[in-house]
Structure 1
Amino acid sequence: MDIKLANCCGNCDHHVKGQLCNVHEIVTAETQACQAYEFRAVLSRESDCLKCSKFQTEHCAHPSKASEGMMCTVFYPRIMA
């Protein structure tokens, strides 16, 4: 069995600032996908809810479960400046 991440805007390198597709220049949902999908390699053992930009916001998909050491399919890394 192959284990794969979901091919969706939330995991796409073209999906910037949490909502904008820089290929199609439109606002997209993280659960959408298109033929321009390009995997964004951001997940690692060090990634968890504490490093997610949605943690403790109204955009968190699982606010009652989100915690250190946990991560879900809508993980969106914080942008480090």
Structure 2
Amino acid sequence: MAIRLGNSCENCENLMQNDTCKVHGVKVSSSYTCDSFEMKAVLKDNRNCVTCMRYESSDCANPQKAAPGMLCSHWAPQNARA
């Protein structure tokens, strides 16, 4: 079994906004992939205070400086999946 970096429907250019595959016409999630996979030309890189789960919480490392568009070394994604 091959392991492919970022090879999921979430990174495929065939994924439509309503999480439907425009090739197969079915609802998909990030755990799906197929042989018709086409990598998006640019992946979203929206890491900043607003997308950090610590933003405006008591465990924020820099509460006086945290602001939209900023990033620190303590950033933690809001939607982490294993």
TM-score calculated relative to the size of structure 1: 0.51
Find the aligned partners of 1:8 and 1:41 in 2 and give their Cα distance. Answer: 14
SS at match of 1:25: coil
Find the aligned partners of 2:18 and 2:30 in 1 and give their Cα distance. Answer: 8
Gaps of 5+ in 1: 56-62, 75-81
Q: In structure 2, do the counterparts of structure 1 residues 28 and 6 end up closer, same or farther at CA, with 3 Å as the change threshold?
A: same
Find the aligned partners of 2:47 and 2:35 in 1 and give their Cα distance. Answer: 29
Q: In structure 2, do the counterparts of structure 1 residues 71 and 20 end up closer, same or farther at CA, with 3 Å as the change threshold?
A: farther
8 A contact 2:54–2:76 mirrored in 1: no
Identity %: 23
Map of 2:53 onto structure 1: 64
Which amino acid is 2:38 matched to?
E
> Greater share of strand residues, 1 or 2?
1
Map of 2:37 onto structure 1: 37
Greater relative contact order, per chain length (Cα 8 Å cut-off, separation 6+): 1
Q: In structure 2, do the counterparts of structure 1 residues 12 and 71 end up closer, same or farther at CA, with 3 Å as the change threshold?
A: farther
**Moved >2 Å (runs of 4+):** 65-72
Aligned length: 57
Using the TM superposition, give the Cα deviation of residue 30 of structure 1 relative to its aligned residue in structure 2, in angstroms: 1.8
Gaps of 5+ in 2: 56-67
TM-score calculated relative to the size of structure 2: 0.51
**C-alpha RMSD of the superposition:** 3.3
1:15-41 Cα deviation digits (max 9, x unpaired):
110510000000001221000000001
